[in-house]
Amino acid sequence: MTHLAWIALSLVPGIGGITFRELLRHFETADQVLEAHRDELIAVRGVGKKIAASICAIDLPSLERRIFSWQKKEVTCLTWQDSHYPQTLMDCQDAPPTLFVKGTLPPLHHPHTAIVGTRQPSQHAHTATCRVAEELARQGHVIISGLALGIDTLALQSAVCHHPTIAVLGSGILKPYPYQNQNLAQRIVEGGALVCEVAPDERVSIQGLVARNRIIAGLSHTTLIVETELDGGAMYAARAAIHYGRVLQAFPFEHASGNVSLLENRVAFPYPLPA
């Protein structure tokens, strides 16, 4: 039952990697967490009444049926206890306790490079993304990105024909978002992998779209910011890369306020624009 209890606990809203570790520290196993009384749960740091109530309401038989249906659709559930869970992500304190994968995760001895940026790239950013992603893929880099329109899509499209890629979703991997990238998602699965931390059959959410950025950075050795404003979603990935102590690079686009800030504050190294 341990694997089932682990997955069930990891899917409770509000329980991330940090709170999950606190629960295991207090109760030792996921099974014991599910057997605990509500008042015992509330005593754990990070667990309030709402999370405690959600834990007590877990329906294991229902989840077991869902997991069976996911597995029939070739979804793999990786937990911290699995040897195939990516070590680069495992090293992050807030790594998702369960990672859902469709496809095959490329081996970590290949350099993993995240390429992220705005959904509405300039022509210069469009061209630079395609050239750099293709060049890095040809050199054996695993390109990682979200499946968002714009820079993310361009990076994955340019790389997928040359080397396995990874797309990290803000939705479940059985409901890829946006719809326009359904074909791209299938191409990625053929050689690389789709990844998410939410239930594989869950629809997209704003929270999921934001949270996936830390997974993108956590899976990567290097994160490249192509083009973003200060309030752009790619800045979440940039901040995560800084927090994890990973290499952060940015194109020196003077019109992109996010890039300018990262480079002026010397938290990112300039990445030379392709000729």
**One-letter-per-residue 3-state SS of 156-187:** HHHHCCCCCEEEECCCCCCCCCCHHHHHHHHH
Share of the chain above pLDDT 70, in %: 99
Where do the structural domains in the chain lie, given as residue ranges?
A: 2-72, 112-270
pLDDT digit string, tens, across residues 148-165: 999 999 999 999 999 999
275: confidence class by pLDDT, cuts 50, 70, 90 = confident
User: From CA 121, how far away is CA 3, in angstroms rounded?
Assistant: 42
pTM of the model: 0.95
Structural tokens at position 135: 């060049």
User: From CA 94, how far away is CA 101, in angstroms rounded?
Assistant: 18
User: From CA 205, how far away is CA 223, in angstroms rounded?
Assistant: 23
Structural tokens at position 129: 């993304």
**Superfamily (CATH H level) for 2-72:** 5' to 3' exonuclease, C-terminal subdomain (1.10.150.20)
| Topology (CATH level 3) of domain 112-270 | Rossmann fold (3.40.50)
Q: Can you give the pLDDT at residue 2?
A: 59
Q: Say if residues 197 and 174 touch (Cβ distance below 8 Å).
A: no
Q: To 10 degrees, what angle do helices 257-264 and 234-244 make?
A: 20
> Is pLDDT of 1 > 80?
no
CB-count burial class (<10 Å; 0-12, 13-18, 19+) for 121: buried
